[in-house]
Structure 1
Amino acid sequence: MTAPSTLSAPRGRQRTTAGVTGLTGTSRLLRLAARRDRVLIPVSALTLAAVVAASAQATFDLYPDTSMAGGALRETLDNPALVAIYGPVASATIDALATFKTVLMGGVFLCMLAYVVVRRHTRTEEEEGRLELLGSGVVGRRAPLAAAVLLATAAVLGTVVLTALGAIAVGLDASGSVALGVSWTVMGLTWVGVTAVAAQLTESARGTAGFALGALAVAYMLRALGDAAGDDSPVRFLTWLSPLGWGEMVQPYGANRTWILLVGLLAYAGLVLIAFALLERRDLGAGVLPSRPGPARGSLRTVGGLTRRLARGTLIGWTIGFVVLGAVVGSLGGSVQSFLDSPEIADMLRKLGGGAGSITDTFFATELRFAAIGAAALGIALTTRMRTEETTGRLEAVLATPATRLRWALSHLLGALAATTFVLAVAGLVAGAIDGQRTGDVGGSAGRMLGAALATLPAVWVCVAVAVLLVGLVPRLTGLAWAVLIGFLVLGEFGVLMGLPSWITAISPFDHLSQLPGGSLEAAPLLGLVAVGAAIAAVGLAGLTRRDIA
């Protein structure tokens, strides 16, 4: 009997069922996946490479005297607070200082790119039913996972090559640039494997995100705690428990430990093999971990209740992460002032991270902006779930009830706004309470940090509104909401170092936030951001009510 030839059999050639193997059709699926990501992967790779090259060039222009950069500046960047965020400086060379912010943060973004590619072409395709359609042709059971892993691997390696070449082109040391590529390779390939395993454990794309991104958050926290500890502390060992710590241990433009690539390759190979082993132990559309059955009789009576129920697990996970973040930030506040005795260095640190008032306030302001970026990611994740509910067909069942599109969409929007407010409030309160034990004024410190955290909300809400706009007007491009968030982060974190004009950095809503704590609350920019976010969200909601579903 002749098997169907869709997507796999070349024209003029027939394949029989007996000739089908577990990897049959991998090359065709790889081409299909590459075509779908023909914009995402090249743009992401070029952006990461450009950020490294541009920030390094800007540092060379800012510090032509390398002795200054290697002296007092090195002492500044050895601060445990900054080390917890960006990792340690590999050496006192200008090359290491020029890439101080990009080694770890770039690796994290590369991990996120690997996660997006693998999840999109495995669990998302399976959840939306397209994988079952592809499987009706001559496609082996292992082919979709193999194609996703290969494409993500190619994306990681391609980004690494472009970044290393760009770094060498602007004058960074060649061997250090190769080590930088090794560092990113270790982190990126490990997350290809982590996401491949996560896609087998759960039956939903949302669950895959929880496992993969949760693991990334844990890895970042382990590395931060290990790096910030003293040299003789046993806590330093935590860095070696984190794949991000492995990449950091390469020390580009310092020790250049390229042999750590072997650790990353072993982790990558082991995780991918585990993913294929788990694939054989589950049914199509299911996960290795069974879904918990619901109650015999439901209690949900409104679309708002349904939305809150769907977001409950996600919100719990993010809340735990923000509690940990607040605890780390609050505990590091006391160590910031102790090593800074130069006004010039303090001014340089303010330019890097923003903020006003004391250097401790500057540190808190910088950390709260990072927390705001994380809260924006949570808001986007909750908002873009509307598109997932639509493509999986579950929205049609909801709209078959008296619920309207507008009420359903508003429940997601308001839920995202409430969730982002809650997690930022938690982070601010925890950080303030812990720092208050140092200052002796727990209530005052907690209130001050809470206000500073909530002052970042207008920028977060603009990011959520952009996601609503894309879902309502151009649902096929909903994923661009993540690209917009990354763009805002790049402009905010690297805009000054890259020498970009102020009118470009002003595109980011985070550029208009008040410098709190330490500065004064500026109401006009915050109200302007709220107005912009409301207008953008209104256009998106109007588009959703007027277009066809799915």
Structure 2
Amino acid sequence: MTAPAVPAAPRAIRVPRQLVGTGTLLRFALRRDRLFLPAWVAVPALIVLATPGALDGLYGTASARASLFHQVAANPSFRALIGPLHGTSTGALTAWRVGVYAAALAAAAGLLVVVRHTRDEEESGRQELISSGAVGRRAALTSALLTALVADAALALLVTAGLAARGVAGALALGLGLGATGLVFGSAAAVVAQLTESARAARGLTAALLGAAFALRAAGDATTPDGSSAATWLSPLGWLENLRPYARERWWVLGLFAAAVAVQTAAAYALAGRRDLGASFLPTRPGPAAGRLGTAGALAGRLHRGSLLGWSAAFLAAGIVYGSLTDSVAGIVQDSAGARAIFRRTGGPAAPADAFLASMTGMLAMLAALFAVASVLRAHTEETSGRAEPLLAAPLGRLRWAAGHLTVAFAGSALLMVVAGLGLTAGYGARPAALLGACLVRLPAVWAVGGLAVLLYGWAPRYARVAWAVALAALLTGWVGPALDAPRAVLDLSPFTHLPPLPGAPVQWPPVLALTALAALLTGAGLVGLRRRDLTG
């Protein structure tokens, strides 16, 4: 008898050896970032989706939108700040008003995600343990890029679906442009992660690339009214403008994004195959044979030195730029009822120039709060990486050790606001005392956000990164809330809205003192928790 035929087993999908384990690592990365990714996707998406309704109220007529179009075209300072306006529809105004800034947030998310799942993992030693199993050489890099792709695809989908009623083509162009910008900087971070030896350096260099892209776009937009400058075309943020959502879309510009992602991804893969795990092409220089740091505070200052210098340079440049734009922007604000309403909600019922300066100092203070949170959480990183434990094994108390990082967080944020005030004075050319006071009066709110980070780190280090969400929520509320005419109850959730909008408003000391006391209370409570709990590893 003939034996019955045995059905052939289904052929397994062959995965290249270099990518074995990518799916598992991708699921693990999405599981780890289950709070981080939704927040970073939701913030730019909410900014974009909430804008059309506010613009309908401010520029509800065709004549008002046409007037704004001509004002923007004739004002290079305003174009440098926001970008050129390519159309007069509400969709075109939305892409102009928030497109560049939403793209910058998407870019920041992309670079943070990729560095977190590549160089961060190698620096902590976790990648070496994972690579000892059945994991391909390029699986970690691939999973990091796919994680960024998932976040950018979600952002593109949300924006497209939310704005489809305003025009499907324009909504698709804006959504794809935002997602593609995030991928460009995510793939750039993948290259930088191969070149540098530390995650901090990788984040700093990629953030510098983002800052350079913004500066190139601003310089190019200031010279031409339609975004055709060569400097604009050198910036991925300029590509988003020239995609022209809701203004006769240029679909071929998406090819620039695709080419940049492909080239940078190929470069990252090539570099990843030519180095050892944990090594880099730009190794850190060895320190001196004899140590020069005698205290925990000196060590903290050395760890934060590069970050503080970079932030200070950025704040000085931003202050000079905003100060130099004051007179030009004040003119367009005076001529536009919509712009005047937005700036007066953030800058108070003052003259247009004072309202603009108050708005800019408020925005810089919100960014300084991000620095404070990052500096506090650096102590958390030192603890979880195991570098704090050898220090604390010596005759060094936890409070003395943490004091170095907290000094940088609070004194460093104060330094940033002083530098911003000096930059505003240099750019505006007048009123140094008023501008410096406007910057310093925002410090209690910055310290309150930093104090919350200390509280979370001291008592619940596992959830310390929630402080990022709080800082971003304050930034979103203070930046977008007034433009959207949000209810006062929503605006009051941010500590920054309780401070006097200097210059141009009288100083109100009760909220300043109350927020200062709140910051001190939160910081003290956090240090109590740090002293009582066990170290995390």
How far apart are the structure 2 equivalents of 1:225 and 1:518? Answer: 30
- Specify the alignment match of 1:296 in structure 2: 289
How far apart are the structure 2 equivalents of 1:26 and 1:98? Answer: 38
Choose the corresponding residue for 1:276, options 255, 269, 273: 269
How far apart are the structure 2 equivalents of 1:216 and 1:391? Answer: 29
Give deviations 1:146-198, integer Å, cap 9, x for gaps: 10001111210121111110112xx3221111111132123111111111112
Choose the corresponding residue for 2:47, options 47, 51, 55: 51
- Specify the alignment match of 1:317 in structure 2: 310
How far apart are the structure 2 equivalents of 1:267 and 1:392? Answer: 34
Mapped pair 1:72 → 2:67 = yes
- Specify the alignment match of 1:176 in structure 2: 170
- Specify the alignment match of 2:3 in structure 1: none
Range with bigger deviation, 476-485 or 28-37 = 476-485
Q: Given that residues 346 and 482 in structure 2 are in contact (C-alpha distance below 8 angstroms), is that contact kept between their aligned partners in structure 1?
A: no
- Specify the alignment match of 1:152 in structure 2: 148
Amino acid at match of 2:198: S
Amino acid at match of 2:477: L
- Specify the alignment match of 1:538 in structure 2: 524
Give deviations 1:493-513, integer Å, cap 9, x for gaps: 222344532112111112122
Choose the corresponding residue for 1:119, options 107, 112, 115: 115
How far apart are the structure 1 equivalents of 2:116 and 2:336? Answer: 49
Q: Given that residues 52 and 90 in structure 2 are in contact (C-alpha distance below 8 angstroms), is that contact kept between their aligned partners in structure 1?
A: no
Give deviations 1:116-145, integer Å, cap 9, x for gaps: 221221111111111111111011111101
CA 1:428–1:293: 2 relative to 1, 3 Å: same
Task: For 1:460-471, list aligned pairs within 5 A.
Answer: 460-471=446-457
Mapped pair 1:523 → 2:494 = no
Q: Given that residues 348 and 355 in structure 2 are in contact (C-alpha distance below 8 angstroms), is that contact kept between their aligned partners in structure 1?
A: yes
How far apart are the structure 1 equivalents of 2:453 and 2:175? Answer: 32
Q: Given that residues 86 and 226 in structure 2 are in contact (C-alpha distance below 8 angstroms), is that contact kept between their aligned partners in structure 1?
A: no
How far apart are the structure 2 equivalents of 1:499 and 1:362? Answer: 16
Give deviations 1:220-248, integer Å, cap 9, x for gaps: 122122222355999x4222221111112
Range with bigger deviation, 39-48 or 373-382 = 39-48
How far apart are the structure 1 equivalents of 2:328 and 2:43? Answer: 34
How far apart are the structure 2 equivalents of 1:99 and 1:247? Answer: 9
Give deviations 1:348-385, integer Å, cap 9, x for gaps: 24246424432122222222222222222222221111
Amino acid at match of 1:200: Q
Mapped pair 1:509 → 2:495 = yes
Choose the corresponding residue for 1:408, options 401, 408, 412: 401
CA 1:340–1:161: 2 relative to 1, 3 Å: closer
Choose the corresponding residue for 2:191, options 197, 219, 227: 197
Task: For 1:192-341, list aligned pairs within 5 A.
Answer: 192-231=186-225, 236-339=229-332, 341=334
SS in 2 for 1:137: coil
How far apart are the structure 1 equivalents of 2:448 and 2:280? Answer: 35
Choose the corresponding residue for 1:393, options 363, 386, 396: 386
CA 1:23–1:262: 2 relative to 1, 3 Å: same
SS in 1 for 2:118: helix
- Specify the alignment match of 1:375 in structure 2: 368
Shift of 1:489: 1.4
How far apart are the structure 1 equivalents of 2:259 and 2:204? Answer: 24
How far apart are the structure 1 equivalents of 2:327 and 2:83? Answer: 19
SS in 1 for 2:17: coil
Choose the corresponding residue for 1:424, options 417, 425, 439: 417
Q: CA RMSD in A?
A: 2.3
Give deviations 1:291-334, integer Å, cap 9, x for gaps: 11111111211111110011111112222212221221222223
Amino acid at match of 2:104: V
Amino acid at match of 1:67: A
How far apart are the structure 1 equivalents of 2:174 and 2:226? Answer: 27
TM-score normalised to structure 2 length: 0.91
Mapped pair 1:34 → 2:30 = yes
- Specify the alignment match of 1:105 in structure 2: 101
How far apart are the structure 1 equivalents of 2:309 and 2:289? Answer: 24
- Specify the alignment match of 1:494 in structure 2: 480
Amino acid at match of 1:70: R
SS in 2 for 1:519: coil
Amino acid at match of 2:97: K
How far apart are the structure 2 equivalents of 1:353 and 1:536? Answer: 27
Shift of 1:478: 2.4
How far apart are the structure 2 equivalents of 1:491 and 1:90? Answer: 28
CA 1:138–1:332: 2 relative to 1, 3 Å: same
SS in 1 for 2:171: helix
Range with bigger deviation, 297-306 or 69-78 = 69-78
The sequence identity of aligned pairs, in percent, is: 41
SS in 2 for 1:71: helix
TM-score normalised to structure 1 length: 0.89
Shift of 1:455: 1.6
Shift of 1:414: 1.4
Q: Given that residues 251 and 257 in structure 1 are in contact (C-alpha distance below 8 angstroms), is that contact kept between their aligned partners in structure 2?
A: yes
Report how many aligned residue pairs link the two structures: 522
- Specify the alignment match of 1:186 in structure 2: 180
- Specify the alignment match of 1:449 in structure 2: 435
CA 1:394–1:340: 2 relative to 1, 3 Å: closer
Q: Given that residues 80 and 218 in structure 2 are in contact (C-alpha distance below 8 angstroms), is that contact kept between their aligned partners in structure 1?
A: yes
How far apart are the structure 1 equivalents of 2:112 and 2:48? Answer: 21
How far apart are the structure 2 equivalents of 1:198 and 1:447? Answer: 42
SS in 1 for 2:248: coil
Q: Given that residues 319 and 421 in structure 2 are in contact (C-alpha distance below 8 angstroms), is that contact kept between their aligned partners in structure 1?
A: yes
How far apart are the structure 2 equivalents of 1:356 and 1:304? Answer: 44
How far apart are the structure 1 equivalents of 2:95 and 2:522? Answer: 36
Choose the corresponding residue for 2:160, options 142, 161, 164: 164
Q: Given that residues 56 and 99 in structure 1 are in contact (C-alpha distance below 8 angstroms), is that contact kept between their aligned partners in structure 2?
A: no
Q: Given that residues 369 and 456 in structure 1 are in contact (C-alpha distance below 8 angstroms), is that contact kept between their aligned partners in structure 2?
A: yes
Q: Given that residues 382 and 416 in structure 1 are in contact (C-alpha distance below 8 angstroms), is that contact kept between their aligned partners in structure 2?
A: yes
Shift of 1:206: 1.1
Q: Given that residues 221 and 227 in structure 2 are in contact (C-alpha distance below 8 angstroms), is that contact kept between their aligned partners in structure 1?
A: no
